[in-house]
Amino acid sequence: DQQVKQNSPSLSVQEGRISILNCDYTNSMFDYFLWYKKYPAEGPTFLISISSIKDKNEDGRFTVFLNKSAKHLSLHIVPSQPGDSAVYFCAANAGGTSYGKLTFGQGTILTVHP
Amino acid sequence: SAVISQKPSRDICQRGTSLTIQCQVDSQVTMMFWYRQQPGQSLTLIATANQGSEATYESGFVIDKFPISRPNLTFSTLTVSNMSPEDSSIYLCSVYGTGSTDTQYFGPGTRLTVL
């Protein structure tokens, strides 16, 4: 039972353009969402999070959008840079914080071409 | 953010043996978590490590297979016991955000290959 799904295994984008990574969830109890970036041979690095009381959160080049009715969130990276090339995971939790069990999607490999 | 280190970074082990993975944090944290990432899969929580009490295991994971110690607020170990090739995974520890940050931070992971 995959409660968090990233349906695109990979995404290729030109440098300077927008990257949009998508994530869907099925568990209505999830109310806190995070995006992590992972380079090979490293642990996941936190990027940005959003609580279900918001529908948008921005941090520099990264913006996360949450559509609760559709149970869908997306990460926008603008402008994309070659250093953004990595695996991106979305994660979800119930309880309004990141404290406790995070349920992860399977990841999307982003490649940003110079 | 917390700085987390894990030892070993990788290992190749024989079937039937056990490996203990260490996780060290540079600050005191209440909760530490152990995750597994099997090849091509997402991260899955194995257990939550509480200081001074037994770890809490997720469905599908048992203490006999994955014993955990948490002797203080900056350190934890996960042992993978009686290993089989199916245990080949990346094992990661994480900690709940220290200070005012509401985030889980992850260690670099231990890549385990079982032959």
What is the distance in angstroms between the Cα of A46 and the nearest Cα belonging to chain B? Answer: 7
> If we measure between CA atoms, which residue out of B25, B96, B35 comes closest to residue A89?
B35
Distant-in-sequence, close-in-space partners of B78: CB < 8 Å, separation ≥ 6: B20, B21, B23, B34, B46, B47, B66, B67, B68, B91, B93
pLDDT at B100: 57
Nearest CB partner across the interface for B43, out of A49, A99, A104: A104
Chain B residues within an 8 Å CB radius of A34: 103-104
Note whether A36 contacts B106, CB cutoff 8 Å. yes
Distant-in-sequence, close-in-space partners of A22: CB < 8 Å, separation ≥ 6: A6, A7, A8, A72, A73, A74, A108
**B75-114 per-position pLDDT tens digit:** 999 999 999 999 999 999 999 865 556 788 999 999 999 9
Lowest-confidence segment of A56-60, A76-80, A106-110, B47-51 by average pLDDT:
B47-51
Does residue A97 register a pLDDT over 90? Answer: no
Note whether A49 contacts B106, CB cutoff 8 Å. no
Q: At B103, is the secondary structure helix, strand, or coil?
A: coil
Residue linked to tokens 């993975």: B21
Report, as an integer, the average pLDDT of A7-19: 97
**B22-66 per-position pLDDT tens digit:** 999 999 888 899 999 999 889 999 999 988 778 999 999 999 999
Determine whether B73 is exposed, middle or buried from the number of CB atoms within 10 Å of its CB (0-12, 13-18, 19+): middle
The pLDDT > 90 percentage for chain A reads: 89
Chain B residues within an 8 Å CB radius of A46: 1, 103-105
* Neighbouring C-alpha atoms within 13 Å toward the C-beta of B105: 19
Chain B residues within an 8 Å CB radius of A101: 33, 45, 48, 58
**A41-63 per-position pLDDT tens digit:** 889 999 999 999 999 999 999 99
Distance CA B32, CA A100 (A): 9
